[in-house]
Amino acid sequence: MLGIDVLAERLSTYLGKDQVNLVRRAYYYAEQAHDGQRRRSGEPYVTHPLAVANILADMHMDHQSLMAAMLHDVIEDTGIAKEALCAQFGETVAELVDGVSKLTQMNFETKAEAQAENFQKMAMAMARDIRVILVKLADRLHNMRTLEVLSGEKRRRIAKETLEIYAPIANRLGMHNVRVEFEDLGFKAMHPMRSERIHQAVKRARGNRKELVAKIEHSLANCLAVDGIAGDVSGRQKHLYGIYKKMRGKRRAFNEIMDVYAFRIVVDKVDTCYRVLGAVHNLYKPLPGRFKDYIAIPKANGYQSLHTTLFGMHGVPIEIQIRTREMEEMANNGIAAHWLYKSNDDELPKGTHARARQWVKGVLELQQRAGNSLEFIESVKIDLFPDEVYVFTPKGKIMELPKGSTAVDFAYAVHTDVGNSCIACRINRRLAPLSEPLQSGSTVEIVSAPGARPNPAWLNFVVTGKARTHIRHALKLQRRSESVSLGERLLNKVLNGFETSLDRIPAERVQHLLAEYRLEVIEDLLEDIGLGNRMAYVVARRLQASEGEASPSSESPLAIRGTEGLVLSYAKCCTPIPGDPIVGHLSAGKGMVVHLESCRNISEVRHNPEKCIQLAWAKDVSGEFNVELRVELEHQRGLIALLASSVNAADGNIEKISMDERDGRTSVVQLVVSVHDRVHLARVIRKLRALNGVIRITRMRA
Ligand code: MN
């Protein structure tokens, strides 16, 4: 019988006929895709996915997981696209295969050991469907079982990764059996000599102890029978890697570890566990301080059992675990037990992630009932319902960030200075927008420039508190220095009218005024003026006060340079550009807004020297200024392109364009164009006029 037929027969014990046929189809697809490829052992490649599927069948995994197991190396090794799998086997299976491939591509081995835990978390976060992890664990298990055929170096690399990443993941998910197999196979590959020595020692010890073990087992079974309790007593063996870790970690001699006789008693229900405990405590004296009730207070990954140690005959210590069959199942298979257990289908929510949730919920309830620390379960929750992303720095360090974090959050997490001077980013070596949410597993590189400043727009997309606080702080500092310098210019302008200037005012007079305003330093006063909270005119008069009622002689306008920053803005209503006659309107807290002299919105305050000040454009004004143009023209084909190329020909930039047709023959186009100044604007308009069919061009202003 063929391998797939054997599997199909096993599957038919718990899957429907249609589902088994889907698994078969996936097998034949994989067989064809891997045609001609061989395992290192010489077998056809398809034997590997088949073996992986068999491992998952042991766990009674659903048909989609089994299909994904069949196809798990297809994307990676045969160049068949995810889309093709999607068309053949549906979205879910394609997603599972894709998830497994992504984990396979992750390069664990070059990174520092200290980061292993983060890698575990990252792997979990990347697998949005927990079945991805289970398929990957099965894949790794089969590779570990067939590790001998690989070269020494490759074997060690895979073994190390298994011990550091996959065994702990299995442990987190409560999958004891898988973890133990990972550890023993990994130990054997990493330290073949030590593993062999311990193996031989265990064999020898077991031989010597056979008789005593049988005796103890018999007396325990007898003791249960006397009390009329039904239960299975069995001897327990420690796994090699566990012994090795104990010897190293606790610095204990091999004999010390092996001199403990370990048994497990499995019964039908919780109640019976405690009765068994009483019975065995009657049989042998318990060792004080060694009793643990993990039924009332389960271990972090949901493990439940009673542990006690007894003084046996001749004073040999006997370790005993007492648990129910269900607890035994959970202790061995953890999260996978939910597939293994064919429970009432109506009770269990359908779907597969639901099963994983069920497991987490179950553990959570156990822990809550026990009032235990929620630390572990918090971490599993993060793993299964990831609200975190894990990304690499260019040097391979892992950063943990909340879900939705962007490169700016990343930059501030690296260092405040990196955040403040960041101007662009590369995600996986490609330039990307700073606002793009990061994905787990990406490598993020920040491009920074000395003297760069945080952009207020970042506040719209950053998610970490750290980034937000530092951006706000930097903006506040920037705003302060900009308002101080604008305030100084405003004040000096008025003082100049009085034929004096700030540095010619005696210091004590300045101090006097500061005291009166309850301000600490002159910068506070200047900032207030720059922000529009205090009128330069009034302050100037006060500083002048003792020199009599001089009135300003000539008012020279303040020059606008275009570099004033956050405290100066250009009115949206009349969009002034260099060359236009302008005035500044001061509004409290906002700083200065520049309007056209003719703007209707300020006509009421136009001559109030406390609210409006005369402005002029500096000769070397810099920047781009938007103006809105209304172009009326005869309707024609390709009209937008024509307009765009004319504006372009005059070095202008179209920021916005909209069009409505007035009647069949003429159209009205609204253009927002950015220009340097009026001369530039005139050039743009001239170009537009030269177009065929243009009837009228108007610059829009309030
Ligand atoms: Mn594989």
Tens-digit pLDDT profile for residues 43-102: 999 999 999 999 999 888 889 999 999 999 998 888 888 999 999 999 989 988 988 887
Average pLDDT in the 611-626 region? 84
Average pLDDT in the 598-604 region? 85
> What's the CA-to-centroid distance between 11 and ligand 1, angstroms?
21
- Is it the case that residue 358 has pLDDT exceeding 80? no
> What's the CA-to-centroid distance between 90 and ligand 1, angstroms?
21
Candidate from 166-170, 254-258, 427-431, 448-452 with smallest mean pLDDT = 254-258
CA-closest candidate to residue 210, choices 253, 265, 261, 266: 261
- Is it the case that residue 145 has pLDDT exceeding 90? yes
- Is it the case that residue 533 has pLDDT exceeding 60? yes
pLDDT band at residue 343 under the 50/70/90 scheme: very low
Region of 93 (left: φ > 0; alpha: ψ -120 to 50; beta: rest) is alpha
> What's the CA-to-centroid distance between 72 and ligand 1, angstroms?
6
pLDDT at 44: 92
Annotated catalytic residues are 76-77
Please provide the average confidence, as pLDDT, over all residues in the chain. Answer: 83
Q: What is the CATH number of domain 194-336?
A: 3.30.460.10
What percentage of the chain carries pLDDT values higher than 70?
87
Higher pLDDT, 362 or 268: 268
Question: pLDDT for 222-244, tens place per residue?
Answer: 999 988 899 999 988 888 898 88
Backbone phi, psi, residue 341, to 5°: -80, 115
Higher pLDDT, 669 or 118: 669
> What's the CA-to-centroid distance between 64 and ligand 1, angstroms?
17
On whether the CB atoms of residues 146 and 38 are closer than 8 A, the answer is no
On whether the CB atoms of residues 614 and 594 are closer than 8 A, the answer is no
> What's the CA-to-centroid distance between 424 and ligand 1, angstroms?
38
> What's the CA-to-centroid distance between 14 and ligand 1, angstroms?
25
pLDDT at 141: 96
Map tokens 């639901």 to a residue: 354
Exposure letters 190-228 (e unless 16+ CB within 10 A, then b)? bbeebbeebeebbeeeeeebeeebeebeebbbebbeeee
Backbone phi, psi, residue 118, to 5°: -65, -35
What is the DSSP track for 609-671?
A: TTTEEEEEE-TT--S-EEEEEEEEEE--TTHHHHHHHHHHHTT-EEEEEEEEE-SSSEEEEEE
Give dist(CA 68, CA 631) in Å, integer. Answer: 61
pLDDT band at residue 218 under the 50/70/90 scheme: very high
- Is it the case that residue 154 has pLDDT exceeding 80? yes
> What's the CA-to-centroid distance between 2 and ligand 1, angstroms?
20
Domain boundaries, the chain: 3-190, 194-336, 479-617, 625-699
Dihedral sign computed on CA atoms, order 509, 513, 518, 524: negative
Give dist(CA 470, CA 401) in Å, integer. Answer: 16
pLDDT at 294: 87
- Is it the case that residue 276 has pLDDT exceeding 90? yes
> What's the CA-to-centroid distance between 599 and ligand 1, angstroms?
72
pLDDT band at residue 188 under the 50/70/90 scheme: very high
- Is it the case that residue 295 has pLDDT exceeding 90? no
Backbone phi, psi, residue 462, to 5°: -70, 150
- Is it the case that residue 513 has pLDDT exceeding 60? yes
Torsion of CA 419, 423, 426, 430, to 10 degrees: 170
Q: How many CB atoms lie within 10 A of CB 466?
A: 13
On whether the CB atoms of residues 390 and 443 are closer than 8 A, the answer is no
Average pLDDT in the 399-418 region? 90
> What's the CA-to-centroid distance between 385 and ligand 1, angstroms?
26
- Is it the case that residue 441 has pLDDT exceeding 80? no
> What's the CA-to-centroid distance between 349 and ligand 1, angstroms?
30
CATH fold, domain 625-699, is Alpha-Beta Plaits (3.30.70)
pLDDT at 124: 58
Question: pLDDT for 371-404, tens place per residue?
Answer: 433 344 344 444 444 567 878 888 777 788 888 9
pLDDT at 571: 87
Give dist(CA 434, CA 454) in Å, integer. Answer: 12
Give dist(CA 480, CA 468) in Å, integer. Answer: 18
Give dist(CA 532, CA 610) in Å, integer. Answer: 10
What percentage of the chain carries pLDDT values higher than 90?
28
pLDDT at 359: 58
On whether the CB atoms of residues 320 and 309 are closer than 8 A, the answer is yes
- Is it the case that residue 307 has pLDDT exceeding 60? yes
Give dist(CA 642, CA 658) in Å, integer. Answer: 14
Question: Where do the DSSP E strands lie in 210-326?
Answer: 231-235, 261-267, 285-286, 292-293, 306-311, 317-324
Candidate from 166-180, 190-204, 547-561 with smallest mean pLDDT = 547-561
Backbone phi, psi, residue 534, to 5°: -135, 145
- Is it the case that residue 29 has pLDDT exceeding 70? yes
pLDDT at 251: 73
pTM of the model as a whole: 0.57
Give dist(CA 366, CA 303) in Å, integer. Answer: 10
pLDDT at 340: 56
pLDDT at 419: 93
pLDDT at 125: 57
> What's the CA-to-centroid distance between 317 and ligand 1, angstroms?
44
- Is it the case that residue 557 has pLDDT exceeding 80? no
Local structure of 475: helix, strand or coil: helix
Average pLDDT in the 294-323 region? 85
pLDDT at 381: 45
> What's the CA-to-centroid distance between 132 and ligand 1, angstroms?
13
> What's the CA-to-centroid distance between 52 and ligand 1, angstroms?
8
> What's the CA-to-centroid distance between 218 and ligand 1, angstroms?
45
pLDDT band at residue 680 under the 50/70/90 scheme: very high
pLDDT band at residue 130 under the 50/70/90 scheme: confident
pLDDT at 239: 86
> What's the CA-to-centroid distance between 258 and ligand 1, angstroms?
37
Backbone phi, psi, residue 554, to 5°: -125, 140
> What's the CA-to-centroid distance between 147 and ligand 1, angstroms?
12
Output the 3-class SS for 62-103.
Answer: CHHHHHHHHHCCHHHHHCCCHHHHHHHHCHHHHHHHHHHHHH
The distance from CA 376 to its chain's CA centroid, rounded to whole angstroms, is: 19
pLDDT band at residue 347 under the 50/70/90 scheme: very low
> What's the CA-to-centroid distance between 150 and ligand 1, angstroms?
14
pLDDT at 567: 77
> What's the CA-to-centroid distance between 171 and ligand 1, angstroms?
21
Give dist(CA 633, CA 357) in Å, integer. Answer: 64
Judge residue 695's burial from the number of C-beta atoms within 10 Å of its C-beta, 0-12 exposed, 13-18 middle, 19 or more buried: exposed
Question: Where do the DSSP E strands lie in 136-267?
Answer: 231-235, 261-267
pLDDT at 376: 40
Judge residue 533's burial from the number of C-beta atoms within 10 Å of its C-beta, 0-12 exposed, 13-18 middle, 19 or more buried: middle
> What's the CA-to-centroid distance between 47 and ligand 1, angstroms?
10
User: Quick one: CATH architecture of 3-190?
Assistant: Orthogonal Bundle (1.10)
